[in-house]
Amino acid sequence: MRSDPTLARVVPFFIFVGLTACQGLFGEAGKYWIYVGKSIVGIWLVWLILPVVKEIRWTISIEAVLVGVGVIAIWIFADPYYFKLADIKGYWNPHQQFGQGSALAWFFIVARTLFSTIVVPPIEEMFYRSFTYRYLVKEQFETVSLKTFRWPAFLITSVIFGFVHGNQWLAAILCGAAFQWLVLRRGHLGDAITAHAIANLLLGIWVAYKGAWHFW
């Protein structure tokens, strides 16, 4: 994987998605433990491919902060105003599973908030922005600058990003477009990773504070 630029960007994402698909195989309590396990695997995968994916470095800018705060505001407050793809039952709610206010419930809330902040952004941005977008521009994607703008690639990548996020598809499309804009502006993944991390952190805080478990 470390010797192949395509595999370095694609394999961590699909391992992460595959482990996510396994979360429901071991009962309601099992999905929480699998989430923690897959996140630890995710950290290892990101560390493993760092020498290959040079553009995956954390940076921060005022634009990244504003985008992170802005997209999660849209994610939360626009949610009631567009149709949902499925009637999902059995939301992630550690209080319901492990007891209201229990230490184990708070452990999983903190774990999900933390891991979604530090693990998910680099894996997703690497797959969607570094690989998918550029591959849609040209099969030899490494020859495509991260600053290269093409409407078809921009729209397709944003829409794919949106619909893999299920019922928050519309907000996720806008998020994907905003993150892509940061990459196009800066020519690296750093600001997009930061914006994504800020958005996920704020969402986790909101979910825990408001009990808005349907976002998870």
pLDDT 10s digits, 131-144: 999 999 999 999 99
pLDDT value at 2 more than 80: no
Residue 191 inside a domain? The answer is: yes
pLDDT tens-digit map of 33-76: 999 999 999 999 999 999 889 898 889 999 999 999 999 999 99
List the domain range (segments joined by +) for residue 102.
Answer: 57-215
Closest CA relative to residue 108, chosen from 120, 92, 122:
92
CB 73 within 8 A of CB 198: no
* Cα dihedral value 12, 14, 17, 19, nearest 10: -70
- Banded pLDDT at 194 (limits 50, 70, 90): very high
Mean pLDDT for 149-176 is 97
pLDDT 10s digits, 165-178: 999 999 999 999 99
Total domains in the chain come to: 1
> What's residue 26's pLDDT?
83
Q: Is the pLDDT score of 89 beyond 90?
A: no
Residue 132: count other Cβ atoms within 10 Å of its Cβ.
20
Residue 8 lies in a domain: no
Task: Indicate the SS3 state at residue 38.
Answer: helix
Q: What is the mean pLDDT of residues 181-190?
A: 95
What distances in angstroms separate CA 19 from CA 15, 39, 69, 138, 145, one per listed residue?
6, 9, 29, 30, 31
Average pLDDT for the chain: 94
